[in-house]
Amino acid sequence: MSKINTVSHSSPQNSKKTYFQRLIQGIWKNRGIYMILLPVLLWYILFQYVPMAGLQLAFKDYKVNLGIWGSPWSGFKHFNRLFSNPRFFNSVLLTLRINIGRLFITFPFPIILALLLNELRMNRYKRTLQTIFTFPNFLSWVVVTGITINVLSFDGLVNSLIRVFGGTPVSFIGNESLFIPLVFATEVWKSAGWGSIIYLAAMAGIDPGLYEASDIDGATRIQKIIYITLPSILPTVTVMFILATGNIMKKGFEQVFNLSNPAVRNVSEILDVYIYNITFRAVPNFGYSTALSLFRSVVNLFFLVIANAGSKWLTGSGLFGMEENQNE
């Protein structure tokens, strides 16, 4: 009896030891894969996690001579200033307005473009169009906005044509009501082709037998898209939508910063532009700027979790794949 009790008491330790032994053996067996993964892990540790130590500036009065660690703590002083600043609230509302608009206006364009390209049967024509649509992605926002300003400025190409035909020039770049539509239009032109590659890759993995069976049943192309293609790429669409939602508070800085000008300041100072302005165009307060960045990150995390939970509830899939069956 005592021998049995001894075995039962020592078995958890043995199983724990065995687990770690299996882990070490598995790592050693797949050491080549882990060696490939190691640079990525080091990059994330050095450039993503180590800088998080600087977030303590949000709760400190930063002194250059004392450094980050030696500066005195200030509690929630910067956050109190943050939530009592009307300019901050305006930038948050403007950021939400623009980036929620992206989710409903610009997000579907890569999906639509991928569906159209997938229906083309002439491969050479298809590759040519895909190259044309993808090329703008490799241009920086400085170049894209420079082209946009040259075409739409008061003495640009469009207004020159309007003058030729006897019309009155329009201030496209300095018009507040046209600024946000211009943001959406340039976003679609630059990124729709690149974004469609992900959905085309997902469509390439669809079983051809499904389309062959639908041909036998007499399905039209539209019916194939609705009942085969779209349901098959829904997990990919879901993941991309969740990731886009998780960036809702920080997407678009380069685009808006380069497109904006003093005439449209009221509709162009999103949160990231506001952080830039108070950090580099005024007397810098790094504690206040860090508090703003921390607030932005927390809000992004909130939207990411909500979007992931909503996706699992509606479609059964999220960032980590299909929802597991609880009965198994």
Q: What tokens appear for 95 in the block?
A: 């950021």
pLDDT, tens digit, for every residue of 252-267?
889 999 998 888 888 8
Domains of the chain: 1-75 (no CATH), 82-322 (1.10.3720.10)
Grade residue 319 by pLDDT with cuts at 50, 70 and 90. low
Reference 253, options 152, 196, 183, 185; nearest CA is: 183
CB burial of 67-95 (b: ≥16 within 10 Å; e: otherwise) equals eeeebeebeebbbeebeeeeebebbbebb
Based on its alpha-carbon atoms, the radius of gyration of the chain, rounded to whole angstroms, reads 27
- For the entire predicted model, the pTM comes to 0.79
Q: Residue 280 pLDDT > 90, yes or no?
A: no
Residue 3 has what pLDDT? 46
Residue 42 has what pLDDT? 92
Grade residue 311 by pLDDT with cuts at 50, 70 and 90. confident
Residue 15 has what pLDDT? 52
pLDDT, tens digit, for every residue of 184-202?
999 999 999 999 999 999 9
